[in-house]
Structure 1
Amino acid sequence: MDLSALGDVTSAEQGAVMTVCHPGTGAELRTAEDKPITITLASSDSERVRRVTRRATNRRLQQARGGRATVTAEALEAEGLNALIAATIAWDGIALSDGPLPLSDENARHVYTELPWLREQAQTFIDDRGNYSKSSQAA
């Protein structure tokens, strides 16, 4: 069996497309043009996400060496948000009251902060390695 078919570094980096679903009903959300609202997300195994995660860990280790190791819930939440922003490769149909938003780190931070349900949905998607297997991407 080819184990790389279950997911490898390349598939982690290329990402997978998540269709955004209604937080209450689970129904796939669509734009006014009836296109699915999607976010392309790199896996938590991708280098782009691991780089952000390692930077946060190194910062905490440095603080521990200096005797000021203080980990707060806010700091952990901010680190998770930074990793999610790094994982966000593309999106289509993401709009708020001001209209459609182009993807940027600033816009991703705003959307994931204002819409905690979307942040949770994206994080759950990223953490599921099955979304990055070659067989799931071919479907």
Structure 2
Amino acid sequence: MKMKCSFFVLWMFLLIPLITYAGENEKTSRKHRSVFRVIAKSEHDVERCPMACNVTVSDVDNAIQICFMGILSDVTVSVTDNEGNIVLHELLSDIQDGQICSFDNMENYPYTVEMTSPKFDMLGEIIEEIIY
């Protein structure tokens, strides 16, 4: 009986660290990326030229970068986290193709992105996509 008890205790000491290590390894092997999607977009009839602005996001060193593809002027960019805290609020007078705004990623997904300008208004969100 004493031998069975010590054998059981020995197995427990070996098994618990293995289970803990497997759980930690699963967390570290799981990766994520941020993805931008447009919720609503409206163009103002200020000029007769079409709006040519796309937005992409990327994760770089614990920050989320918003990259503008297009040339715009007088754009207000406001980003709030899932708790309603403003994490970015900038007035950009001239956006050139490829210009980047960034903010610290606190992982409070989804982030709501509001962009307003004389040419358009856009509402979007930045969501987390898990990559296995």
Does the pair score TM above 0.5?
Answer: no
Q: Could you state the TM-score of these two structures normalised by the residue count of structure 2?
A: 0.29
Q: Which has the higher contact order (CA 8 A, sep 6+)?
A: 1
Q: Larger helix proportion, structure 1 or 2?
A: 1
Q: Could you state the TM-score of these two structures normalised by the residue count of structure 1?
A: 0.28
